[in-house]
Structure 1
Amino acid sequence: MKKKKVIGISIVVIALIIGCVCFNMFSQSKTDKGIAYLQAQEKLKVEDIQEELNKKKQAELQSAVEQGNLDVFSLVDDFVFYGDSRVMGYYVYNLLDANRIFAGSGNTLYNVSDWDEQLRSLNPSNVFISYGVNDMGSDLDNDYEGGYEGLAKVQMNHILEIVPNASIYLCSIIPCSPEVTKEKPYWAKYEDYNSKLQKACNAVEACTYVDVTGLADGGNANIYSGDGIHFSPSFYTDWLTAIVNKMD
């Protein structure tokens, strides 16, 4: 009887030991996974995390606009928008306040200072900039002593001298249609000019580069008016959405 009792106790003890070992192994496994996750998070750069958050924000904003749940034009009010005849479309189509559109036909980066008085009066928090078509046509990269990159930096710093607390959003050049570019080859230089714009933006702390070139799909997207240079009204929603996506 005693022997059976001892055997029974031994079996219970062994079972308890096995149970403890299994529990510890399971707990250790969960702990190891938790440590591995934390270590992986530590390795992530702040820039990578911010990029993921920006992508999520962009997707949510784009979805809301596409579903008609959000009017992107209502999200911008304290701004000015520098540019050429392409930018003029924002007020020609009654999309944004005409008083805040600092644009004219044939305008280039050289025309920034033409709007100094209005800039000082409005004192905006956000400055949008989009030139390029006329700049390439006028060969400003060779015309200006410091090249197109140098000119862009000078003009952005000029703006910041007047509105030092403003944030600048510098748009890349959107290409023309292939048919138009074939007729005027200088418009094919947009990638080179965009590279210089991006470098200029990186050199100005208050500047954020907005790459909208992809919206044109190499000039093949259905975004143009009949001339292959200017844009149809519907495109301005996508363009402004891309800018708003970059705003804090």
Structure 2
Amino acid sequence: MKIEKKEINKRTLVIGGIALAVVLIAAIMIAEGVSGMKKKKTDVSEGLKIIEQAESADVTAIETKIGQLEAKDSQGQEDTRSLKEIFGSTVVMGDSISEGFAEFDVLNTSSVISKIGVELEELDEQVEQLVKVNPQVVFLTFGANDILATKGDEKAYIEQYKALIEKIQKKLPETKIFINSIFPVQKWRVEEEPLFEHIAKYNEALRAMCDKLQIAYVDNTELVTDRYYEADGMHFKADFYPVWARRMAEFAAL
């Protein structure tokens, strides 16, 4: 009598399941009965149940499980998405430094909410834009203008930042917030504007605030080299923005 291929495969799976169950029963007996010569006989009913389940195993279910394992393994492959795709449900919100993401076409305009010269106390309009977008993640980038506005008083800066965070959390409780550190400026710029000497102090206060509020702090201090600066010693050239974007994406596991 001719046996069909499907039937052979099914029997192979059943035999494999029985073999697995036998091994499992042996393991149970060893675990339970190493000192068990003096104990009562091990209960193998659980192993018998496994054999029964193997005999009635659905081939399709097994194939589905294999497919899931293969899909999981493929996740380790290199990410080929563009930065615009990666930041599809993310917003970078900040001042003129953040504006470069849109200006240099690194991210979609819907992923950038920025305004030249804006300070932390002037963000009502930007917050409303953020609410309309309703992103899963928002990166906040404020500091250079605020150092000048608060005249080196990092405590005042932190209070203003906290007020912004509270406002966003109230309106968008499901949006995850990340705080970018304040970027350093070139030395000659510090000589022209001594208040920028306080950048490191402001970043320390910013980090402490994030720790207290349990918000992620993205330290970009070592990310910038002289070649990335524009002529003003403060803003950045186009080739810096993909570097910064990848840093944020990696940090937030986008």
Q: Give the TM-score taking structure 2 as reference length.
A: 0.64
Contact 1:224 1:230 in 2 (8 A): yes
For 1:233 and 1:104, how far apart are their aligned partners in 2? 18
| 1:94 is aligned to 2:105 | yes
Letter of the structure 2 residue corresponding to residue 211 of structure 1: D
Q: State the number of aligned residues.
A: 178
Higher helix share: 1
Report the alpha carbon displacement of residue 193 of structure 1 after superposing the two structures with TM: 0.6
In structure 2, the partner of 1:130 is 141
Runs of 4+ more than 4 Å apart: none
Equivalent of residue 212 in structure 1, options 217, 220, 229: 220
1:62-101 aligned within 5 A:
71-101=82-112
Letter of the structure 1 residue corresponding to residue 160 of structure 2: L
In structure 2, the partner of 1:164 is 173
Deviations 1:180-206 (A, max 9, x none): 11111111211011111112212223x
Contact 1:157 1:204 in 2 (8 A): no
For 1:70 and 1:240, how far apart are their aligned partners in 2? 13
In structure 2, the partner of 1:174 is 183
| 1:245 is aligned to 2:250 | yes
Residues 1:212 and 1:73: Cα distance change in structure 2 (over 3 Å): farther
Report the alpha carbon displacement of residue 137 of structure 1 after superposing the two structures with TM: 1.4
For 1:194 and 1:110, how far apart are their aligned partners in 2? 18
Unaligned stretches of 5+ residues in structure 2: 1-75
Report the alpha carbon displacement of residue 163 of structure 1 after superposing the two structures with TM: 0.7
For 1:150 and 1:138, how far apart are their aligned partners in 2? 13
Equivalent of residue 116 in structure 2, options 78, 87, 105: 105
Letter of the structure 2 residue corresponding to residue 230 of structure 1: H
In structure 2, the partner of 1:234 is 239
Residues 1:212 and 1:148: Cα distance change in structure 2 (over 3 Å): same
Letter of the structure 2 residue corresponding to residue 161 of structure 1: K
- The higher-RCO structure (CA 8 Å, 6+ apart) is 1
Letter of the structure 1 residue corresponding to residue 110 of structure 2: N
Contact 2:84 2:108 in 1 (8 A): no
Unaligned stretches of 5+ residues in structure 1: 1-59
Q: Give the TM-score taking structure 1 as reference length.
A: 0.66
- SS of 1:198 mapped into structure 2: helix
Contact 1:82 1:112 in 2 (8 A): no
Report the alpha carbon displacement of residue 139 of structure 1 after superposing the two structures with TM: 2.0
For 1:100 and 1:241, how far apart are their aligned partners in 2? 14
Deviations 1:132-179 (A, max 9, x none): 11111112663x9x5222222221111111110111110001111111
